[in-house]
């Protein structure tokens, strides 16, 4: 009985449909590969030729990166040339002496300050010998004025530096005559408001002339061009 049961079981297992299950798996694989082949285009000869043409025309990409080459740049050497032309000593000396003309002629405006402040006259004591020599020559102011104007300002042989400073000195000397003319025309007298106004005017003129003399003298000694207020523009037009 047992042998008959075992034989019947073996027959039943042998009769099971095993081949259909294996056939279904293979069919699914073949259908999937067929669907992929259906949607993937097959490259033709024209497409291959176009691809070969594009790759041949496009330049090759270089992936090499060198940070030192981009950051380090060759510095451009800039050469700066400085031109320095110092003023000759003779030009500075002539220009400095030219400012003594208006200064000597303006000392008469300081008599009120010298009277009011006697200690102020001590500053001008070294100039007393030069003043006495200057006043001992008759018409010294007129001779110095025309000699400076005709001999230096209108003389093209002198440099522009000397001519400009001499013209400033001449212009300042001309302006110093204006207060004297006004005092003679209006005649303020010896007292009153007119006299006080004249004293204030003379003091202002004297201080202004001293400032111009010191400023012009120091600038000429250093070789610089002084520009006197109210004078430089008028002097520049005459040259």
DSSP, residue by residue, 111-157: HHHHHH-GGGGGGGGGGHHHHHHHHHSTTHHHHHHHHHIIIIIT-TT
Sorting pLDDT into bands at 50, 70 and 90, what band is 86?
confident
Please compute the mean of the pLDDT values over residues 149-172 and round it to a whole number.
95
Tens digits of per-residue pLDDT, 88-109? 999 999 999 999 999 999 999 9
Rounded Cα–Cα distance for residues 13 and 5 (Å): 12
Q: What does DSSP assign to residue 108?
A: G
**pLDDT at residue 239, rounded to an integer:** 79
> Does position 55 have pLDDT exceeding 60, yes or no?
no
Pinpoint the alpha helices (H) of 15-88: 19-39, 45-57, 67-71
């Amino acid at each position: 009985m047992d042998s008959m049961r075992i034989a019947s079981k073996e027959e039943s297992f042998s009769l099971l449909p095993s081949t259909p299950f294996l056939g279904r798996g293979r069919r699914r694989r073949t259908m999937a590969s067929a669907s992929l082949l259906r949607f993937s285009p097959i490259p033709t000869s024209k497409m291959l030729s176009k691809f070969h043409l594009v790759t041949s025309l496009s330049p090759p990409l270089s992936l090499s990166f060198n940070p030192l080459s981009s950051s380090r740049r060759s510095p451009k050497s800039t050469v700066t040339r400085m031109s320095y032309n110092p003023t000759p000593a003779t030009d500075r000396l002539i220009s400095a002496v030219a400012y003594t003309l208006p200064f000597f002629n303006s000392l008469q405006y300081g008599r009120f300050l010298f009277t009011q402040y006697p200690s102020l006259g001590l500053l001008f004591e070294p100039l007393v010998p030069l003043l006495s020599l200057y006043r001992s020559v008759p018409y010294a102011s007129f001779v110095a004025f025309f000699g400076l104007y005709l001999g230096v300002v209108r003389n093209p042989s002198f440099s522009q530096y000397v001519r400009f400073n001499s013209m400033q000195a001449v212009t300042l000397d001309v302006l110093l005559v204006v207060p004297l003319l006004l005092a003679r025309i209006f005649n303020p007298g010896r007292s009153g408001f007119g006299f006080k106004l004249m004293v204030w005017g003379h003091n202002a003129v004297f201080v202004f002339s001293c400032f111009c003399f010191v400023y012009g003298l120091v600038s000429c000694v250093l070789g610089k061009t002084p520009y006197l207020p109210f004078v430089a523009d008028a002097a520049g037009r005459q040259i």
